[in-house]
Structure 1
Amino acid sequence: MDDKRAAEAKKVFGYSADQYILNVVKESCQRALALPSFTGTLQTIKSHFYDRNYDAVFQNPDHLPVYTARYAPSRALCYYHMFLQHPVLLKTLEGGPSNILCIGSGAGSELVGIAAAMVHANPIPKTKKKKTTASTTDEKKKKSSKDKKSADGIEGQEEQDDKGKEVLKDGKDTTLGLENLAMSSTTSMAEAGVEGGAGAGAEVEAGEAKTPVTKKKPKSDKHQVKLVMQDYVDWTPILEPMEQIVRTRMHLGPERLQCETEVGNVLDLSDSLLDRIAAADLITFMFVLNELFQDKKRTMLLVARVVAAMPKGAHMLVVDSAGSFSNLKVGERTYMMYMLLDHLKDLEIVYQDDATWYRCPPGLTYPLKLENMRHFVRIYRKL
């Protein structure tokens, strides 16, 4: 990342981008954090996770704001740094319009993390000051030229007056002398730009006023990222206020970031979702595939159809737990989830890490404890 981008990002984030991101999440979740039932609801959610009863977690609307307040902060930070770390991901946020489809992203972690990365990829456009149509130097030159021409005209007229007087004095061809005086005076006035008693400056200025002036329009950032957040329950009450806060705090207008939602069970793979996949430059599965693999047959069919529908050159980002939650039992053997994905023939591995940590920097403040995350990362490209 170059110094200019870093400087522009600092104008938005201040001394700490990580703390700024946490403040955005906190502002979005302040009502949930103030709920008297928050602690009890969170314990219920954790119990359902332990039992891998994901429907019980997400199909209760009362759980959703509590889930976001608890799990969105650390993940948003992780995704933010992930996009900055990998050029292939950052490239989707710059250089031209792009579509990003995030599967299972209702809680808003992708929205906050990717939007924060956009601040680096697309600095805030500066409004250029309007340039004057003529410089002070040019105006001075014009004025000097006008004065000189006027002076020359007066001197020429005085010379002709003297000649006329001499002709009259000598008594030689008085009529010719007067005609010469008239012709000389007219010529001098024309050279000085005087017509009908108007000054040279008035004529030139009138001409300038009639000349159309072309003003350069300030360059605008025409780049747009369309972020589609898909989930199988309706997270609109969470995402809409969060989106407004993100736009305000990170200076991302609709001309730069377009947000849409898609509600439905991804395992059903509707025609609408297939169309979005076919138009996507990047598809993300972040901390969602291990939930989907509770139904191994349908999830493998889903992955195969997603890969088939992806346009050539598009990328897929898969992030999930590096622990036993990502284990898949096939027959008598147990595999990590990414091992099955790695063998899909139409995907090329661009980046892989079987186990890495995202550790929250010290000194950050948030109403709840921030969790470090051990996860695997895969970035694939469609061949």
Structure 2
Amino acid sequence: MVKKSSGANSSGPPQPPPPPPPPRVAAARSSASSTKPAAVGLGSRPGSAADAPETDETRAQQQQQQQRLLNIFHDAFREVLSRDDFAAVLQEVKGALYRRDFETAFGTEQFLEVYAARYSPPRALCYSKILTQISGHLASVLDAAVAAAAAAAATNTCEDAEYEYEIERGRVSPTVDLEENEGEMSAGAAALRMLAIGGGAAEIVAFAAHLRDAGPGVAGDLTLLDVGPWREVVRKLHVGLTTPPVLSKYASAAAKATNAALVEPAERLKSAFVQRDVLELDRAGLSELLGRTTTPLLVTMLFTLNELYTSGGVGKTTALLRNLTAAVPAGSLLLVVDSPGSYSEAAVGKEAKRYPMQWLLDHTLLRVADDKLLPSDGCTWEKLESHDSVWFRHPQGLRYSIELEDMRYQMHLYRACPRSAD
């Protein structure tokens, strides 16, 4: 669903504030914070790709990859962007958002596609950059997934050996061809899991881009949760991410020979969209979405948490964070990205005193060690990174049907740790 536009163009006259976004609610970080806008990488675990110095060649490769993501959006919504009434429908969507009439803004598939074609591409580029910059932390999540897959494979190997032993002695009859799935992604392959609360078009594209960079041996399992009916939009993008782009009949032989999908084979990317109000989920419902497993995952709230606070209320949002703390597997990461400064404040109490979203978030997450209401096997949180204001600027030369806007955002990253026995 719509999330706040978090920046403006880097040149040109000042622009009026963007219309407010819909409450992505209803669908469904301890390091020091920087106080000046940052325009460079956020940093990550030493030795990660994000620590490597940027060269002209590196920047050229990054821009080429960013252009590819834009092309995927363009191909998925080609018909939408070329409609004669696109500008008129976009104005209707903007107007509904400005009035905070979210039922209208996201009440039809036409409006949803126009929003995704207009606002999601720059978000996807920004989210992809953030995932790259925290890749050192994500490596620990993936390491745990690899270990779990290896353990599962060892168990299956023992079971298969016992099964074949029984067959040899005629005690059981074979019911499946043990080699029929040879060459395909194994069901027990390492998979990086991600739950995107308030997630949609931008999240699936950014996740697929990170999956591509992680290497061919890594699969991805993405669950997108939002109140809006984004299923068809997500489906179109999933197809575009896992299918080679259609080339012109005049394309060169070299272009045809190297033409490939962003993610190959297609089985590497698994995505599911769940249309639910996250604030209405209890602990059991949230556990179900998290997968009921001890393998850690990445949970994201990208331009979502502030809307949960302001539209759903501090009480319900705090309950959500507590349920997440109780249900999330140890080692999991929580990534929160939102508008910076006064754009992310929530009113609390009868006097409607305003508090920064980051303060409310830390107040809830970093004090759970003293929360006697949480189960003893729940987690506590440690803040890994925190940045008050970061600029994401698009490089010159990117091509898209609509002008791309630069973004400014705050970012906070937490890791779930096992609770002390005390």
Percent identity (aligned):
32
Which residue identity does 1:295 align to in structure 2? G
Query: Which structure is higher in RCO with an 8 Å CA cutoff and minimum separation 6?
Result: 2
User: Residue 75 of structure 2 is aligned with which of 27, 31, 35?
Assistant: 27
What SS does the aligned partner of 1:52 have?
coil
Number of the residue aligned with 2:84:
36
Deviation at 1:83, TM superposition (A): 0.9
Matched, 1:283 2:283: no
Match for residue 361 of structure 2 among 336, 341, 346:
341
Residue 282 of structure 2 corresponds to residue 234 of structure 1: no
Aligned mates of 2:79, 2:140 — CA distance in 1: 33
Within a 5 Å distance, the mapping from 1:1-383 to structure 2 comes to 16-91=64-139, 94-95=142-143, 96=146, 97-106=191-200, 108-122=201-215, 124=216, 221=217, 223-248=218-243, 249-269=261-281, 271-277=284-290, 278-279=292-293, 281-293=297-309, 294-296=311-313, 297-331=315-349, 332=351, 333-343=353-363, 344=365, 345=367, 346-383=380-417
Q: Whole-Å Cα distance in 2 between the matches of residues 320 and 288 of structure 1?
A: 7
- Give CA-to-partner distance per residue, 1:150-199, whole Å, 9 cap, x none: xxxxxxxxxxxxxxxxxxxxxxxxxxxxxxxxxxxxxxxxxxxxxxxxxx
Name the SS of the counterpart of 2:343 in structure 1. Answer: helix
CA distance in 2, matches of 1:225, 1:92: 15
Residues in 1 aligned to 2:317 and 2:121: alpha-carbon distance in whole angstroms? 28
CA contact (8 A) 2:122 2:406 kept: yes
Q: Which amino acid aligns with 1:358?
A: F
In 1, Cα distance between equivalents of 2:142 and 2:393: 27
Q: State how far apart, in whole Å, the 2-side matches of 1:115 and 1:48 are.
A: 31
Q: Structure 1 residue 115: deviation in Å?
A: 0.8
Normalising by structure 2, we get a TM-score of 0.61
Give me the whole-angstrom Cα distance separating, in 1, the residues matched to 2:263 and 2:358. 36
Partner amino acid for 1:309?
Answer: A
Is the 2:286–2:323 Cα contact (8 Å) retained in structure 1?
Answer: no
- For 1:356 and 1:43, the matched residues in 2 are separated by 29
Q: Which residue of 2 aligns with 1:187?
A: none
- Given that 1:75 and 1:109 are in contact with CA atoms closer than 8 Å, whether structure 2 keeps it comes out as yes
Which residue number corresponds to residue 180 of structure 2? none
Contact 2:335 2:414 in 1 (8 A): yes
- Tell me how far 1:69 sits from its aligned partner: 0.4
Instruction: Flag the 1:15–1:38 CA change in 2: closer, same or farther, 3 A.
Output: closer
* 1:47-102 Cα shifts (integer Å, max 9, x gaps): 23333333332233321000100111101100111111113454268442332101
State the distance in 1 between where 2:63 and 2:413 align. Answer: 31
Unaligned runs of 5+ in 1: 125-220
Change (3 A) 1:15 1:306: closer
Q: Distance in 2 between matches of 1:238 and 1:334?
A: 36
Cα separation, 2, equivalents of 1:17 and 1:77:
9
Q: Greater helix percent: which structure?
A: 1
Deviation of 1:254 (Å): 4.0
- Secondary structure of the residue aligned to 1:62 is helix
| Matched residue SS, 2:358 | helix
Query: CA 1:75–1:30 in 2, change beyond 3 Å: closer, same or farther?
Result: same
Determine the C-alpha separation between the residues in 1 that align with 2:87 and 2:240.
25
CA contact (8 A) 2:286 2:324 kept: no
Tell me: CA distance 1:347–1:253, structure 2 relative to 1, closer, same or farther (3 Å). Answer: same
Is the 1:104–1:230 Cα contact (8 Å) retained in structure 2? yes
CA distance in 1, matches of 2:62, 2:342: 39
Q: Distance in 1 between matches of 2:69 and 2:275?
A: 26
Q: Counterpart of 1:320 in structure 2: which amino acid?
A: D
Write the distance in 1 (CA, Å) between the matches of 2:400 and 2:223. 27
Contact in 2 for aligned 1:84/1:90 (Cα 8 Å):
no
Q: Deviations over 1:102-135 (max 9, x none)?
A: 11112x111111111222111x4xxxxxxxxxxx
Query: Do 1:93 and 1:121's aligned partners in 2 also have CA atoms closer than 8 Å?
Result: no
Structure 1 position 326, deviation (Å): 1.3
Closer, same or farther: CA 22–92 of 1 in aligned 2, 3 Å:
farther
Residues 275, 44 of structure 1: alpha-carbon distance in 2 compared, 3 angstrom cutoff = same
**Which range moved further: 263-272 or 373-382?**
263-272
CA contact (8 A) 1:93 1:118 kept: no
TM-score, normalized by length of structure 1? 0.67
My pick for the range that moved more, 63-72 or 23-32, is 23-32
Quote the Cα distance in structure 2 between the aligned partners of 1:298 and 1:35.
41
Secondary structure in 1 matching 2:394: coil
Moved more, 50-59 or 346-355: 50-59
| Structure possessing the higher radius of gyration over alpha carbons | 1
Contact 1:356 1:375 in 2 (8 A): yes
